[in-house]
């Protein structure tokens, strides 16, 4: 088992906050477009074997953030998700841990 396989979702998200994970920016999208974009992004991340992804939804009114949080919470490819704890990303970014392919 590799070192990354032994890390918890929280540890994986903490490492991802330092940079280097795939990301998608949803600025300018409505909820339906954003959900469609995230669905495709998660599928691609799963196929590529990515452990963690970054989803930038922006601060705005919170509508997009709420929709993306719900999508991630119920998504079969997502093990865990959490808003960023970085000051410059708080309230605007969500990290998601992707289920490993079997």
pLDDT at 1: 35
For residue range 66-97, what is the model confidence (pLDDT) as tens digits? Answer: 999 999 999 999 999 999 888 888 888 999 99
Distances (CA, A) of 66 to 60, 70, 83: 11, 6, 11
Q: What are the DSSP calls for 43-64, one per residue?
A: HHHHHHT-SEEEEE--STTSHH
Hey, is 7 helix, strand or coil? coil
Is domain 4-98 given the CATH code 3.30.43.10 in the classification?
no
Least Cα distance to 57 among 45, 43, 72 occurs for 72
- Name the token pair of 6: 């032994």
Domain range summary for the chain, segments of one domain joined by +: 4-98
Q: How far is CA 28 from the centre of its chain?
A: 18
């Amino acid at each position: 088992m590799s070192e990354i396989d032994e890390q918890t979702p929280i540890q994986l998200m903490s490492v991802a906050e330092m940079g280097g994970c795939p990301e998608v920016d949803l600025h300018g999208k409505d909820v339906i477009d954003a959900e469609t974009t995230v669905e495709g992004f998660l599928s691609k991340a799963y196929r590529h074997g990515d452990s963690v992804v970054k989803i930038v939804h922006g601060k705005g009114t919170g509508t997009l953030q709420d929709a993306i949080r719900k999508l991630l919470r119920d998504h079969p490819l997502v093990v865990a998700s959490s808003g960023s704890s970085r000051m410059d990303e708080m309230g605007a970014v969500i990290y998601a841990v992707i289920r490993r392919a079997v």
